Amino acid sequence: MKIIIIVSMNLWVTHNKRSIGIRIENPAIQNHFHYFDFETVASYPPRKQKQVAVVGTTPATIEMTDNITGIGTLERQVIEAALVTTRPFSSSEERSKASLSLEQWTSGSTNAATRPLDSSCWEAYMNIVRISFATTARSSTSSEHSGSSTLSEANVIEKIAYVTSKQPANEQQIQREANGAKLLLLTLLCSKIRREYSRLLRENVNLGRCVFEELITALLSIGGNNQQHPTDDTATLMRACCTAVAAVAVRSSSSQCLNEGVMKMIHNCKTSIALSLGINHGTNQLDIRPFSPTVALTLLADLPGEAQSRNDLPNTDIEALLQMPFDAANMSAADASLDTLQLSLGGFINGGGEVQDSLLCLTLKSLRKWAEACKSITISRLMETSSSNGTSGNSFLSQLVALLSSQSEQRQWSTARHAEKAIIQSANVLTACIDNTSDFCTQSRRSAVSSMLSSIQAPVEFLVAPLRNSEMHSWEDATVALSNLASTLAREEMEDISTCQLQGSFDLIQLLLELQAHPVHNVALPVLEVWLALQDIPTSDRHSSLAAPLYMQLVEVMLNRIAFPPTFISWEEELEIESSDFDEMRRMATDVLIGAYCLLRSAYLETLANVITATSSDDWEIIEAALFCLCAASREACARVKSVANAVSSGRDSPVSSDGNSTALGLTQLVGSSCSSPASSRHHLVLSGMCIFLGSYSTVWASSCPPQSVLEILAYLASAISTPAATEAAGKGMRLLLIAAGPKLARAAASPGADPSSYNFISAALTQSMEAALSTGNPTVMEHVAEGCARVCVQLKDSSQTKTILTSVAMPSVQRSRSSLDAISASSSGGDSGQASIQVEAATQTLISCLGVLKQLIRFCDASVGETHVLTDVLTVVWPCLKDISTNSNCRRNEDVLSRLFGVHSQLLNAVPTLIGPHVKDIISFVVQAYEETFCASALDYVSAAAESFDSEQIFIGWKSIHLPVSKVRVLRNFSATIDNLLLEHGETITKSCIGGISGGAPQILWPSLSECLFAVMLHIISESPSGEPNPVLQSWLRSAMTNNSLLNNSQNITSEIGTSMIQILCDLAKQGVKSKAKAKMVMTDFGKIAKGETTPEALHAYSIS
């Protein structure tokens, strides 16, 4: 080694294990420093740095570098970027930058279909592939025998990984880093092949062939016949390389044949497998480069998936690629692959060690891939034997059945994992082939199915033996695969199986019942489809054992399968099952249970009722499951009971009536015994189920139970509503019960000779129900119960009783609203402490909920009884509270409170416009002020509704042109004067608020409401003008709004010209009447976009022209 000593400069020296290089970082001295030949210096420790202190102040850096030959600058940059991307110690910023640069370089920055083909990228990838796998086989073999590879045997990527590593690393770590980079580059190359290889063949056929050759060479290097026990990294790289080769093969075609590349690859794989088995097919070995059996089978498995990934071909061409005839023998790719795989299966099925077992599993995997991709590979096809292999053997079907029977248990498997994989893959193959129904209704398919069904029985025990084995070894994936196979076989062949004429049909059904009861979700779920398929077969066409007897068994199985675990407390603490699986099973089981009810009818309900009454409360999960099963068929059962009532009223009697009577009797007996025990004594999930049950069968209680029993059921639900798990279910149940039983309660109270206290009982029951709902704090539950109570009240015929009961029902909400309002005022005056804020928030939420209750009560009580409205007394009680809420500063600042308050006023506006007439002026003033303060969208909705109409009887706009009774005209004239005065007082403010909001003062979500409100005001003003033209008042409002300082501050894009144009367009549209509302809202939307700069003023020209 030659060394030059440089004086008057500082030298930084870095060493590595093999060589020394010198790099000068200071440009001022670069011309005075030269490189000489360097030899390996083995004595230097790797990556160690030290400083050599000499006289001088100019720093330079000397570091060890490798003069790596056989690689260009571009290739090295790509490899280094891949290393940075895959190294675990790279920073996220480094990794992201390197990954992005690789992706952009591989795919290009422009559209791949229009940009020039980047040959340099392809050539660089081929160089990288060539140098990546030049010594892979040798290194892998050396590593296997010696435990590590020497650096002299390392390929270029490993060398680059070594010299660029930022941390000390041994040879195994360096090799692992290099393999990670290789895998990434192969993956990127495969993506590039999928995008561009077809085009590459068209534009540069020689380069395209070079790509194929280099990949084949690399694959032979990494997965040659000498690679019997590859390392995990080598196996992963081999699979990635196979994917790339398969991607090229499916895109290699000639003008004469679309699938030429596929067929040649299959031929190569078949010859390779034959040679490994010692079979001579007459092929000249010099014509091909044989793969190892592992590579050949991996390639076969990848071909169908890669063919289906071709986005450049329509589906018909993809199917032709795999199934069109290739040669004079009319053999397609699917035919050739089946021949190859049958040869492989026959060679490896008998075992002989781990390698043979691995190849058997790989053969089955490849067969599954082809069956999933090719609809022509059916169960009939598996019965055929190939004559082109030159060997005699069993059919695919017989061999697959053998692998899924007791014979497989006698086979000597090298590992349990291989035994499990063989079961999984064999079951998946048969499942895919059964799903391919192009051979449906053929004799060959029927023969294949018959063969499988007859094999279920002993001694073969098809499906039975592998299930037993899988359960014994806890092979969950194998059990799932077998369940899918059994379910698919039964579902697709249900017409034949349901008759039980084929031997083994009933055995399959019994096996499916066992699988249905399996605790693993993915095992039990597929079986549900079988029972749905059986339901489609008329009972007259089934074997008698597959009707009522089977479904009685099925109900028992389903009852236990959908039950909660006995130790269940909550989903947060549950470890046995997932909540999503549990919910899915119940959701999917519902249709099956409905089918069971439709077959069994009252026997279904009787069976479940017996379970509920006879089961100990300790077994709460069974009771809850039985309640779920009852609820699943509630709609059908209620329809059955209703049909009985219709038959009785028409004087008809039938077996349906008899069954309906049994149904009603059994249900009423069950509800009587269930409601007799306190709700608090039930498990909380049973109580929730009971509430759902009571609500689901509400029409039965309404038709079959006396009024007193209905009130008792209502009281039971009210007592259950305080249990958190049952709150929502009880609220829904109360609503359904009150809606269904309301007419019955009203008739009973008004009937001649009825107890005068009947109304008191109804009032007490409804009031207690409302109080119970309010105590939950659940707004949805409160509104459900409020709706139910209101619907009962409007059914009552006595107007005084109706108003009294309705007021009694409303009072708890009014009282809670008043208490909440007092709490808000008291806490607000007490300072800004944390405790005060919590109290204000709680009181505010209570107030919001109570306003929601009042809104529902008013909404469903929009009927008049006699001369007066049923809400007269309620309005007297409610109005002072509403007025106090509107004047409370804290409530006016809360948009949620305002929204609910406006909702109550809107319902009053619709229900009792005559009663709130004296208060309209105050309401409008409050609404306008509230909008100015909060920009609450509900305020605009209210103003728009008030300006346009009250409802169909109270029209403010255009009412003079409609022929109405004199009494209605008098009312309308009185109200229109009120609205006129209010608009004259607040019209300019409303106009400014609407236009200012759209120009940027309000969120875009409010634009439709603002536009509608503005246009409603304009229409009303124009309708009052004698000429039907916009009067000076309206024009002055619009000009004032368009020149308002707040509008100009919101947007610099609104000029005076735009303002003038908008005024003209809006006035023209308003003259056309209500029919122009949609276009007016479009104009205002475009105006808002102009203000935001999202569009140009030219957008208004279209409206000006029209």
What is the distance between the alpha carbons of residues 974 and 485, in angstroms, rounded to a whole number? Answer: 78
Return the exposure string of 978-991: e unless at least 16 CB atoms fall within 10 Å of the residue's CB, then b: bbeebbeebbbebb
Residue 541, pLDDT score = 94
CA–CA gap between residue 128 and residue 156 (Å, rounded):
9
Model pLDDT, residue 521: 96
Going by C-alpha positions, the residue among 625, 439, 380 that lies closest to residue 517 is 625
Taking a C-beta distance cutoff of 8 angstroms, is the pair 983, 1017 a contact?
yes
SS3 39: coil
Tell me, what's the pLDDT at 783? 96
pLDDT in the model for residue 114: 62
Helices and strands: H and E segment counts in the chain: 51, 7
The partner residues of 951 in beta bridges, in order of sequence, read 954
Evaluate if pTM is beyond 0.95.
no
Predicted pLDDT of residue 141: 42
Question: In what helix (H) or strand (E) does residue 307 lie, and over which residues does it extend?
Answer: helix 293-308
Q: What was the pLDDT predicted at 637? A: 94
329 CB-near residues (< 8 Å, 6+ apart): none
Query: Residue 617 has what pLDDT?
Result: 92
Q: Which residues of the chain have pLDDT under 50?
A: 1-65, 110, 136-153, 949-962
Say if CB 897 and CB 847 are below 8 A apart: yes
CA–CA gap between residue 134 and residue 154 (Å, rounded): 9
Residue 858 CA from chain centroid, whole number: 39
3-state secondary structure 1060-1084: HHHHHHHHHHHHCCHHHHHHHHHHH
**What pLDDT score does 979 carry?**
65
Contacts of 1008 (CB under 8 A, 6+ apart): 1081
Report the distance separating Cα 582 and Cα 586, nearest Å.
6
182: left (phi over 0), alpha (psi -120 to 50) or beta: alpha
| Separation of alpha carbons 544 and 549, rounded Å | 8
657 Cβ contact partners less than 8 Å away, ≥ 6 residues apart: 643, 644, 647, 648
φ and ψ at residue 868, rounded to 5 degrees: -115, 160
- Tell me how far apart the alpha carbons of residues 875 and 872 are, in angstroms, rounded to a whole number: 5
Q: Which residues pair with 590 in a beta bridge?
A: none
- Nearest alpha carbon to residue 524 among 570, 592, 573: 592
Distance CA(101)–CA(78), nearest Å, equals 9
From CA 911, how far away is CA 985, in angstroms rounded? 26
